[in-house]
Amino acid sequence: MELFEAIGLRHSYRGKFESRAVPRDDLRRIVQAGLQAPSGYNAQSTSFVIVDEPALLAALSEIVPGDVVRGAPAAIVCVMDPHATKDKELCFGIEDYAAAVENVLLAATALGYASVWIDGVLRRDGRAARIAALLGIPGELEVRVLLPMGAPAEERSQREKKPFGERAWFNRYRAS
């Protein structure tokens, strides 16, 4: 799939997934796209745990409320190292993982998979810490995003975006 087509098709998928597994070669390609994202100071502060073991997927679905994770044949957990940069006054961890996750989502779309960026709910009730404990992620690192992943069982599309002229301008903000 061409890049601009993937950008146009990528959407937050909260539906059911087909039961077939996501091949590890595809998961590796998807995560490699995330690892190739830009990183402040080239600190490469983002790492990933790829979950495809059914028992771990079931445990993740118990930690995250609702059905968005339940039934996903794979999940990708995005981890941030907030201490990755040598310059302790500047940390680009949030920017780093955001770029990496977007690359992951676009790569998944290009390969015919769907996902949704889950993060807000992880910041409540100790969910990120519970996921870290489940997956053996060291305490100095932070679980930031969970991406349930699989072939979509339902047809969905990207929500309509505001027109270019309402959100982008040349040379001056809101210039015509």
Indicate the domain borders of the chain.
3-167
pTM of the entire structure? 0.93
Q: Name 161's Cβ contacts closer than 8 Å, sequence gap at least 6.
A: none
Fold that domain 3-167 belongs to in CATH: NADH Oxidase (3.40.109)
pLDDT in tens, 9-29: 898 999 999 999 999 999 999
Please tell me whether residue 32 adopts helix, strand or coil conformation.
helix
Long-range contacts of 135-142 (CB under 8 A, 24+ apart): 135/49, 135/51, 135/56, 135/77, 137/49, 137/77, 137/79, 140/81, 140/83, 141/47, 141/79, 141/80, 141/81, 141/82, 142/79, 142/80, 142/81, 142/82, 142/93
Say how far apart CA 16 and CA 155 lie, in whole Å: 10
pLDDT in tens, 57-97: 999 999 999 888 999 999 999 999 999 887 777 889 999 99
Greatest extent of the chain over all pairs of C-alpha atoms, in Å: 55
